[in-house]
Amino acid sequence: EVQLLESGGGLVQPGGSLRLSCAASGFTFSSYAMNWVRQAPGKGLEWVSGTRDSTSNTHYADSVKGRFTISRDNSKNTLYLQMNSLRAEDTAVYYCAKVMANYYEALDYWGQGTLVTVSS
């Protein structure tokens, strides 16, 4: 059974940093692209970042480019999101999601999400 478990969320002041983790199990983690998607309170889904099977191939939404860094440790089956220079508008539930094989735009498994609150 595929499982994705996010952690690392919490309350952080504007300008601060946070690192999210997503522990994966139930599939060959190193073989799949992974994404981060966020959802601000009461709002829709916003894609944040994605990585192919290695961290050398990554993409970012314009809203986080230069501030967030996606990475993965295939030996630990874990996906990360390093978030720096956080802003109030980064407040959201952050989901990690597994990409379906051969369909980069299809996210077939999602974690339960971790809440990040940026506030003073």
Partner 1 sequence: QSVLTQPPSVSAAPGQKVTISCSGSSSNIGHSHVSWYQQLTGTAPKLLIYDNNKRPSGIPDRFSGSKSGTSATLGITGLQTGDEADYYCGTWDSSLSAVVFGGGTKLTVL
- Name the minimum Å distance from CB 95 to partner 1: 6
| Residues within the interface to partner 1 (CB under 8 A) | 35, 37, 44-47, 50, 59-62, 95, 97, 100, 103-113
- Name the minimum Å distance from CB 76 to partner 1: 22
Q: Which residue has the tokens 């309170």?
A: 41
Cβ-based nearer residue to partner 1, 15 or 104: 104
Beta bridge partner(s), residue 100: 103
Q: What is the C-alpha separation between 95 and 5, in angstroms, rounded?
A: 9
Q: What is the C-alpha separation between 92 and 19, in angstroms, rounded?
A: 14
Q: What is the C-alpha separation between 41 and 15, in angstroms, rounded?
A: 20
Cβ-based nearer residue to partner 1, 12 or 37: 37
Cβ-based nearer residue to partner 1, 14 or 40: 40
- Name the minimum Å distance from CB 104 to partner 1: 6
Contact between residue 79 and residue 27 where contact means Cβ atoms under 8 Å apart: no
